[in-house]
Amino acid sequence: MMNKNVAIIPARGGSKGIPRKNLRCVAGRPLLSYTIEQAHLATQVSRIIVSTDDPEIAAVAQAWKAEVVWRPVEISGEDNTSESALLHVLDHLQDTQAYDPELIVFLQATSPLRRPNDIDNAINTFTNENADSLFSACAVQGFVWRQEREMVSSLSYDFRHRQRRQDAPQDLIENGSIYVFKPWVLREFNNRLGGKIAVYRMDIPSSFQVDEPEDLEVVEMLLTKNAPPANLPDTSMVQLLVLDFDGVMTDNRVLVNQDGTEAVWCHRGDGWGIERLKEIGVEILVLSTEANSVVEARCRKLGIACIQACSDKLLALEELARKRSLGPEKVAYVGNDVNDLDCLRWAGFAIAVADAVPEVRRVATFVTSSPGGGGAVREVCDLLRSHRKLPQSQAMQA
């Protein structure tokens, strides 16, 4: 039976410290996307809701497969509490859907470094301790002082009787990453914490939050450093590279002129990568559900074939492979959205761009570090080329 635990991520548009903070690009993706993805990975969360007053944030939330509850302007200001947004979501679910969650899992988008199992482990801690509410924290063991006005005082120990550091008490710092509570706690206390309170301990790197502009660089470094190394299969047999167009060769945006013609943003480096991959005999083509002259124009310039207006991409991919007498192990496919899932599952080498939706990244053999339209295709081409045994003359030019 599916649980009724709802993850709520408040993400308003206004932010003074870091303008448009929730949308800032970190390691090729919006900051908000990391928290949504982590909620998707939690097996004990059945719904993910982003509370926002901002259309652009709502679009990002929906792109990452989260629900959106529109927050009224009167609770979207700098001085409004997160509790007001959480209560609004609870009331909205009850009034519009007669839906009452069992647990609220409150996640802040400014904490993108949770481990994949942190949310589930926090809920397990909550359940095992028979708690009414829970907060995540990191432990600090050492000598804590507090400054009030011009006075400082030792808080966690008596400085007149200094002890060894390992014997100092352990203090917990609320890190703002995960809160779990029963709905009645929020309604009765207008607070995320109340009743019997439990603590879920997280390590210091996972507890890092984005509060100041310089924090974005630190988080990006930690996200890149902590990314698991790619466990790549042997791609030296790949003879056919099939690319989705929108969101892979473009950044998924479209510019519509007054006459209805469309333009897209592409990356020049992709063309260079495609040319070099073709030189070693790998065939490259585009497979798209869209029918647009811009697709044909881009592919013509790159010298690759394209198939458009494809209603069944998997059927088309299988036919392409059959005509070339290629098995799945000789085909690589690059996608970004749910309409690519069947092709990704069939292809021997399934590739997702960095900003692909969570479902696509989960089935991918390899996820690029670059987003679609931002050099992802060049990255794929370079990867496939690096796994081929080149003739000596070509290897010297590489």
CATH number at residue 105: 3.90.550.10
pLDDT band, very low/low/confident/very high, at 394 (cuts 50, 70, 90)? very low
> How far, in Å, CA of 389 to CA of 398, rounded?
12
Residue 184 within any structural domain of the chain: yes
Note the pLDDT of residue 106. Answer: 98
CATH number at residue 365: 3.40.50.1000
> pTM to 2 decimals?
0.60
Length of the chain: 398
Q: 81-118 pLDDT, tens per residue?
A: 999 999 999 999 999 999 999 999 999 999 999 988 89
Domain that holds residue 208: 5-226
Residue 231 within any structural domain of the chain: no
**Phi, psi angles (nearest 5°) of residue 354:** -60, -35
Q: Which residue has the higher pLDDT, 285 or 235?
A: 285
pLDDT band, very low/low/confident/very high, at 397 (cuts 50, 70, 90)? very low
122-126, 345-349, 394-398: which has the minimum mean pLDDT? 394-398
Note the pLDDT of residue 2. Answer: 66
Mean pLDDT across the chain, nearest whole number? 87
Residues 32 and 172 in one domain: yes
Q: How many domains does the chain fold into?
A: 2
Q: Which residue has the higher pLDDT, 35 or 356?
A: 35
> How far, in Å, CA of 332 to CA of 338, rounded?
17
Q: 219: closest CA among 110, 307, 142? A: 110
Residues 209 and 279 in one domain: no
